[in-house]
């Protein structure tokens, strides 16, 4: 396996690997921890093969409010159709951080791609934390942020009117809320990272959302400064596998009147400390 670094901040392509056959799982996991997000090309995987790869990396779990494809509840299809003006994942976020135990990683497999656009950006939250001033680090130490799914699901989110990828908005939906450290420690590397994101973080514990907003706005913008990011250009059969604990990501909505279809799964994690 050849590791080809993609950008200065994070990201590497892993070459010479066929994920439909035997592959060096320990080397892949090591590359993920070193580079935060790894990419594969030309992987024509069936859903069963995609799940087999995911199971070698951990325990695949269902996405809480998007139904999986037939026969594979842990795999969802993320679609942007020709007529749509809104995409899925078009805001800087980490996946499902409103859960008590957010996923350790996510995988995305490209199926159908537009002739241009539709890239994905990733941002390194180790670097985001490291770049904060000593005074800001002291202030954030011990703070906890409140994460909720109410902005992205449920009737009040009003997302399904604009997208082919539908989330739960039925009357039985109930908000899920959990708090995590603003500065978390990665459970495998021991490094500190900034752990807030625009999709799910709504404020800080013991503060109102109005009081929280100025500091939260600063941290959110700081977390995806250009020097902390990499950009991945998809091809059919490409896979991205990112460490959801330390990466934020954003699906760029610039593909014009063209179709984009991806398959996605996520890997179980644990509490953020």
Instruction: List the catalytic residue out of 93, 168, 253, 263.
Output: 93
Which structural domain, as residue segments, surrounds residue 90? 2-255
Measure the CA–CA gap between 205 and 220, rounded to whole angstroms. 17
H runs (alpha helix) in 14-149: 25-35, 47-57, 125-130, 134-140
Q: Is residue 219 part of a domain?
A: yes
Instruction: List the catalytic residue out of 147, 163, 168, 249.
Output: 249
Q: Is residue 261 part of a domain?
A: no
Instruction: List the catalytic residue out of 186, 245, 253, 264.
Output: 264
Catalytic, 231? Answer no
Q: Is the dihedral of CA 128, 131, 137, 140 positive or negative?
A: negative
Q: Is residue 273 part of a domain?
A: no
Residue 57 falls in which region: left (phi positive, over 0), alpha (psi -120 to 50) or beta: alpha
Give pTM, 2 decimals: 0.95
Catalytic, 264? Answer yes
Say which CATH number the domain at 211 has.
3.60.130.10
- Return the DSSP state at 93: B
From the CB of residue 46, how many other CB atoms can be counted at a distance below 10 Å? 10
Q: Is residue 268 part of a domain?
A: no
Average pLDDT for 173-201: 97
Instruction: List the catalytic residue out of 29, 35, 95, 253.
Output: 95
Residue 221's pLDDT band (cuts 50, 70, 90): very high
Q: Is residue 167 part of a domain?
A: yes
Catalytic, 95? Answer yes
Catalytic, 249? Answer yes
End-to-end Cα separation, the chain, in angstroms: 33
Q: Is residue 272 part of a domain?
A: no
**7-16, 88-97, 166-175, 208-217: least confident range:** 166-175
Q: Is residue 271 part of a domain?
A: no
From the CB of residue 3, how many other CB atoms can be counted at a distance below 10 Å? 16
């Amino acid at each position: 396996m050849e590791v080809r670094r993609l950008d200065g901040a994070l990201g590497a392509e892993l070459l010479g690997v066929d994920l439909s056959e035997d592959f060096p799982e320990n080397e892949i996991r090591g590359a993920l921890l070193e580079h935060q997000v790894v990419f594969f090309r030309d992987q024509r995987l069936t859903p069963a093969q995609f799940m087999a790869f995911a199971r070698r990396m951990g325990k695949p779990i269902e996405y809480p409010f998007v139904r999986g494809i037939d026969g594979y509840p842990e795999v969802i299809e993320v679609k942007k159709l020709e007529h749509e003006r809104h995409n899925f994942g078009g805001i800087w976020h980490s996946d499902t951080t409103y859960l008590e135990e957010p996923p350790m990683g996510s995988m995305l497999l490209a199926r159908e791609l537009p002739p241009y656009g539709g890239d994905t950006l990733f941002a390194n939250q180790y670097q985001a934390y490291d770049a904060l001033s000593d005074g800001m680090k002291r202030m954030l130490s011990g703070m906890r942020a409140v994460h909720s799914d109410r902005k992205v699901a449920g009737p009040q989110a009003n997302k399904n009117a604009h997208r082919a990828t539908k989330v739960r908005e039925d009357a039985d939906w109930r908000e899920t809320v959990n708090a995590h450290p603003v500065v978390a420690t990665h459970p495998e590397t021991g490094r500190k990272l900034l752990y807030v994101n625009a999709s799910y973080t709504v404020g800080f514990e013991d503060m109102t959302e109005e009081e929280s907003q100025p500091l939260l706005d600063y941290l959110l913008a700081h977390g995806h400064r250009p020097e902390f990011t990499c950009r991945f250009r998809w091809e059919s059969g490409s896979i991205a596998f990112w460490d959801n604990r330390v990466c934020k990501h954003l699906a760029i909505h610039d593909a014009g009147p063209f179709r984009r279809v991806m398959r996605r799964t996520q890997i179980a994690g644990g509490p953020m400390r």
